[in-house]
Structure 1
C-alpha cells in the first residue's frame, strides 16, 4: 500500500540560495547520485519564480504582498523566512499510475498547498522527474494574519503558522 508523503522544513535566509540552486537545477554537479542530469528536461514548474533566486523572490513577494514581521535576517538567532514541502510517494506508486496521473497527483498537491499557504506566498513549486522517485519541492513564505495598531496585517512567522496544523 502506498502513502502520500509530505515533509516540511524551515529555512533561514542563508539557506535560500542553496535550495534555489538545487531545486532549479542551477548546479553543475550534485552529491546526490540519484539525480540524472540527462533527465532534467523532464522537470517542470507548477509555480516558477519570477526572480532568478529564491532570496530575490522572497524579497519581491514580501514587498508585493506587504508582509510584515520582526525578522532577524542576520546574526546567530535568525528568523525562519521560508519553508519547503517535499511531496512524494513511493516509486512503485508512480510507476503504477503512469505519467498523466503523476502530473495530476502533483497538481492536486499544489492546490492543497495553495489553500494552506496562500498561492501568493509560494516562492516556487518544482516537480523533479530526474531522480529515482518523482517529487515536488514547494517553497513558500509562512504567513499568518495578525493585528498591529488595530489594523489587520499579514506577517511572516513560521512558528505561528504551524500551530494547529495537526488538525489535518
Structure 2
C-alpha cells in the first residue's frame, strides 16, 4: 500500500506504540498529564469518573519530576535547552484486548513496562502510568536515555545513541515476541503492515518527500525511455524502407 499523504500515513502507522523525544522544559507539562495533577483537563477525552482506574506502575513513592531531577544529578547532561533529556513511549492497548477483563489489560501493560525496563534500563525510568480514563487505554512510559561514555568513563544522556534506527526498527517485533512469550492470552500480536519504524512526523514527511522526488525522477526516466523508443521506431522504419527500396531497384 502506498501512502500519498504523510498525515494519513502517520495517523495509520502508530496505532500501537509511538515514541517522542522531549527537552527538559517539556517535563513539567508531561508530569501534569501523566500523573493527573490537575482537575482542569484540556483533553476533552478524559473521563474523570474513570480516573480511579489509572495505574502507576512505578514501585516507589516518588513522582515523575523528582525521579527525573534526581537521575539527571547522577549522570552527565549537556546544559542546553534543546537537549532531548527525556524519551516517552505511548503504548496503546491492542484492539483484540479492548473487550478483555481489566486483569488481562493490566497484565498487558505490566508486561510492556517490564519489556521497556529491560530494554532501556529500569534505573532510567521516571514514569510508567496507565490511563484507563481516556477513549483507549494506553501506557505512558518515560525514561532518561542514558549510555556509558567509555572515553570519559561516565554515564551521559544521549537520545541519539540510545534510540538508534536499529532500536526503532526492531522495537515492535521485539515487544510483540515478548508479549507472546509471557502472556498466555495474547495471541494475535501487534504487528501489521501499518507498523513501521518512523520516529516522528518530521521523519515521515522527509521520507514522503524523498519518495515523491524519486517518483518524479522515475517519471522523467520513463518519458526519456519512451522518447528514445520512438526515435528507435522511426529509425527502424527508415532502415526497413531503405532496404525495400534497394531491393526494388
CA displacement 1:79-119 (0-9 Å, x = unmatched): 011011101134x4333322111011001100110011100
- Which residue among 52, 62, 83 is the counterpart of 1:79? 83
Report 1 or 2 for greater relative contact order, CA contacts < 8 Å, sequence distance ≥ 6. 1
SS at match of 1:29: coil
2:34 is aligned with 1:23 = yes
- Which residue among 65, 71, 74 is the counterpart of 1:61? 71
Q: Which residue of 1 aligns with 2:16?
A: 5
Deviation at residue 4 of structure 1 after TM alignment: 7.2
Q: Which residue of 2 aligns with 1:115?
A: 118
Deviation at residue 12 of structure 1 after TM alignment: 0.5
Tell me, in whole angstroms, the C-alpha distance in 1 between the residues paired with 2:55 and 2:93.
Answer: 18
Q: Which residue of 1 aligns with 2:215?
A: none
2:78 is aligned with 1:70 = yes
TM-score (norm 1): 0.83
Tell me, in whole angstroms, the C-alpha distance in 2 between the residues paired with 1:70 and 1:30.
Answer: 33
Deviation at residue 62 of structure 1 after TM alignment: 2.5
2:98 is aligned with 1:88 = no
Gaps of 5+ in 2: 1-13, 172-249
**Distance change in 2, residues 1:118/1:15 (3 Å):** same
Tell me, in whole angstroms, the C-alpha distance in 2 between the residues paired with 1:97 and 1:154.
Answer: 42
TM alignment of 1:118-137, pairs within 5 A: 118-137=121-140
Once superposed, which parts of structure 1, at least 4 consecutive aligned residues long, lie more than 2 Å away? 48-52, 54-57, 92-97
Tell me, in whole angstroms, the C-alpha distance in 1 between the residues paired with 2:60 and 2:43.
Answer: 24
CA contact (8 A) 2:93 2:105 kept: no
Deviation at residue 50 of structure 1 after TM alignment: 4.7
Q: Which has the larger radius of gyration?
A: 2
TM-score (norm 2): 0.58
Structure with the higher fraction of residues in helix conformation: 2
Gaps of 5+ in 1: none
Tell me, in whole angstroms, the C-alpha distance in 2 between the residues paired with 1:50 and 1:155.
Answer: 26
SS at match of 2:112: helix
Tell me, in whole angstroms, the C-alpha distance in 2 between the residues paired with 1:125 and 1:10.
Answer: 16
SS at match of 2:69: helix
2:46 is aligned with 1:35 = yes
Deviation at residue 70 of structure 1 after TM alignment: 2.5
CA contact (8 A) 1:35 1:132 kept: yes
